[in-house]
Amino acid sequence: MKINEVKELLAGQPAAEQLEALRQDERSGVQKLLAAYDKRLAKAEAERRRFEKMLRYEHIYYGKGAQYVAGVDEAGRGPLAGPLVIAAVILPQEIFISGLNDSKQLSAARRDALYDEIMEKALAIEVNIVSVSNIDAYNIYSATQRGMAAVLEHLPLRPQVALIDAMPVQAAAIETVSVIHGDALSASIAAASIIAKVTRDRIMERLDKLYPAYGFAQNKGYGSSAHMQAIAAHGATKWHRRSYEPVKSMGLPPAAAAEDILYAPQLDSYEYPVED
């Protein structure tokens, strides 16, 4: 075989006898291609083992008879502006999503790609967008707890167990399990973290078009120096949390009332926000 033919063969799924024949080929070009092939297989196998470890919590409850295990996570507890986004995801029992991890460990491009794959492969997804007025009314901790309970109530499939990232939550007829660093330890929670993070980032990018002075597309509502300077120069928008400093000390009226819970299983079908 010519070197190009060997390269094309190894890019696919060569048969065992074809590999054995190539390993007997003494040409350096063939051996380099085989080395790259073996390395790629080893990397893929390592990723599968890593992913299998991320299913260990799910498998505990499958083994106890659970049919559906949900993962729950949030994005946006810390920012000065924008909503809190909570996601719940139920993955199939037999699932593999290469590269799935805590959303904070991934690039924006990788999160977007995984978002699409999760949306395609998940059995059920629910997203809860908690308004700024709700955050201010209940405080961020309580708003998170309430929002997580609500997102579980509205899942299209009823899970027997919900794995929740580092938050004690009660939900009717669902066993809830708080997992510290769950977005790095559970595939279901990691999937929820990506759905929540991508959804919230897209909301903040829309807000950036309405309020370009605040740099929401870049800072996502967190208190960067440029964001703080914009607040000092232009004041706060209705999307800024009145219960967070420095907005709290401005003595502004409460944020405009909004629905307590805004659902968006797919952000593309949810026009939020569209106007001041």
31-67 residue pLDDT tens? 999 999 999 999 999 999 999 999 999 999 999 999 9
In a domain, 33, yes or no: no
In a domain, 71, yes or no: yes
In a domain, 6, yes or no: no
Strand spans (E) along the chain: 69-75, 84-90, 124-130, 161-165, 175-179, 261-263
In a domain, 32, yes or no: no
Instruction: Retrieve residue 81's tokens.
Output: 């502006």
* Overall average pLDDT of the 174-180 stretch: 98
In a domain, 114, yes or no: yes
What CA–CA distance (Å, rounded) separates 61 from 25? Answer: 50
pTM attached to this predicted model: 0.88
DSSP assignment of 19-53 equals HHHHHT---HHHHHHHHHHHHHHHHHHHHHHHHHH
What CA–CA distance (Å, rounded) separates 1 from 19? Answer: 12
The whole domain housing 147 covers: 56-268
Strand 124-130, strand 261-263: pairing: antiparallel
- The fraction of the chain above a pLDDT of 70, given in percent, is 92
So what's the pLDDT on residue 272? Answer: 42
pLDDT at 179 exceeding the cut of 80: yes
So what's the pLDDT on residue 184? Answer: 95
What CA–CA distance (Å, rounded) separates 262 from 244? Answer: 22
In a domain, 276, yes or no: no
> What CATH number did the domain enclosing 131 receive?
3.30.420.10
pLDDT at 269 exceeding the cut of 80: no
In a domain, 69, yes or no: yes
Give the total number of structural domains in the chain. Answer: 1
What CA–CA distance (Å, rounded) separates 248 from 148? Answer: 25
State the residue for tokens 């295990």.
69
pLDDT band at 256 (very low <50, low <70, confident <90, very high): low
In a domain, 5, yes or no: no
Q: What CA–CA distances, in Å, run from 2 to 7, 14, 52, 263?
A: 9, 15, 38, 57
* Overall average pLDDT of the 127-145 stretch: 93
What CA–CA distance (Å, rounded) separates 29 from 61? Answer: 49
What CA–CA distance (Å, rounded) separates 147 from 150? Answer: 5
Environment class of 157 (CB within 10 Å of its CB; exposed 0-12, middle 13-18, buried 19+): middle
SS3 90: strand
